[in-house]
Amino acid sequence: MAKRVLTTESGAPVADNQNSATAGVGGPILLQDQHLLEKLARFNRERIPERVVHARGSGAYGYFEVTDDVTGFTRADFLSSVGKRTETFLRFSTVADSLGGADAVRDPRGFALKFYTDEGNYDLVGNNTPVFFIKDPIKFPDFIHSQKRDPFTGKQEPDNVWDFWAHAPEATHQVTWLMGDRGIPASYRHMNGYGSHTYQWTNAEGEAFFVKYHFKTNQGVRSLSGEQAAELVGKDANSHQTDLLQAIERGVNPSWTLYVQVMPAAEAADYRFNPFDLTKVWPHSDYPLQRVGRLVLDRNPDNVFAEVEQAAFSPNNFVPGIGPSPDKMLQGRLFAYADAHRYRLGVNHTQLPVNAPKATQADNYGRDGLHATRNGSRHDKNYEPNSYSGPAQTDAALAAPLAIHGWTGTYETAAHAKDDDFFQAGELYRLMSEDEKGRLVANIAGGLSQVTRDDVIEKNLAHFHAADADYGKRVEEAVRALRED
């Protein structure tokens, strides 16, 4: 077999890839060495801006297979028949740390899933927790700033973390999740995934339903204690990446069963608490889990940069039969995610192989811009409407319209009969065993006791007291004991 010829970016053959061109033996390097300059210039530009959140990630390809009939709730084609399979790409991630951070840390995990459907790509962007810290996107930049590295010290500061939570009582539920036993998954394979937000499904008759997604791991939920995680980080900072890669390479393909909770749209307005509040779950006694299908990961990416770091997920990538809800955090993310990718990857990031549709083809009037690969020919017009047989609208809405009323302005979300920032955090605490409660209290106290301001500590303690009297008492005692040492 003939040897492949090494070439420059323009395709010219490279004569010498071991030695730079110089002015004589041992002389200075020549500016005319195009191959050297091209290699150095490309090397300087190999890295793109990392994600502000979810920077450290792993991913794999697989498929989703429908196991149960849900056509009564949605007309989405990829869910249209039992046995139908759709190719997928799933990206896992930690949230707060940078690209070089460790995997086994106490942090929520991203669970971002791309379905390459026959009607275009559908992105479902969630976490391994069913709730989140805040309920309004205007607070998101401030929240993330409080959790990321401090501008002065260059590291995460307990003062910042707990000061924000002191002023965000709605975070108490998610803090209880994060500081509990599931705060550090043993691997990406051994954790659940959730859509977290509320979405809308619409069936063929135009009936609307609100849904929440639950991906239950078929490997069983396994987690690490703080001590186990610290030991694992010391041995392999890339532990979750290693585990996922090696499992799939061995043919041990991880899988999850998808369930949904379904609420008829008409029931949302009078539900006892705001069903679109991201800091709350819907009790299963009200809306039981209904099985939909199975997600399987069976192929590792060939290039982590091209297929994991350049993978772009946006919750505004819907398909017919699925749409948004009035969830304020979701509404903010409909813009923010896509905009983040335009900044990181360019306006044409949807043309990259990992992001491009696979089962269909993108056909629109987008042209030009950095890294454009789909610009059309002399016969293609870049405006619409036109008289030249270009793509045209369908006049068929993807989902049902959302009813609105009232005046424009900035409002707190209207309170439902039993809206409360602490009740579900208390319920979660009361579900725990004594051992689980002990570890939860120790994890909270370990961080809260490092806060330097007494008023910040007191505000946080008040949240735990409001969730459950025993919860608050035990955290207060544990914090006091650590501060007295």
| Residues acting as catalytic residues | 54, 127
Burial (CB count within 10 angstroms: exposed 0-12, middle 13-18, buried 19+), residue 197: buried
Q: How far apart are CA 109 and CA 221, in angstroms?
A: 14
Q: How far apart are CA 481 and CA 445, in angstroms?
A: 9
Instruction: HSE, CB side, 13 Å, CA atoms: give it for residue 78.
Output: 27
From residue 429, how far is each of 341, 435, 464, 467, 471 by CA, in Å? 38, 12, 10, 8, 7
**What backbone phi and psi angles, to 5 degrees, belong to 65?**
-120, 125
Let me know: does 171 contact 371? Beta carbons within 8 Å: no
Using the CB atoms, write b or e for 46-55: b if 16+ within 10 Å: eeeeebebbb
- How do 255-264 and 199-202 pair as beta strands? unpaired
From residue 191, how far is each of 235, 297, 317 by CA, in Å? 21, 14, 25
Amino acid at 244: L
Q: How far apart are CA 158 and CA 461, in angstroms?
A: 15
Q: How far apart are CA 235 and CA 239, in angstroms?
A: 8
Long-range CB pairs of 93-96, under 8 A, 24+ apart, other chains included: 93/51, 93/54, 93/55, 93/56, 93/57, 93/58, 94/54, 94/55, 94/56, 94/57, 95/53, 95/54, 95/127, 95/147, 96/53, 96/144, 96/147, 96/148, 96/156
Instruction: HSE, CB side, 13 Å, CA atoms: give it for residue 350.
Output: 21
Using the CB atoms, write b or e for 56-88: b if 16+ within 10 Å: bbbbbbbbbbbeeebeebbbbbbbbeeebebbb
Q: How far apart are CA 131 and CA 315, in angstroms?
A: 16
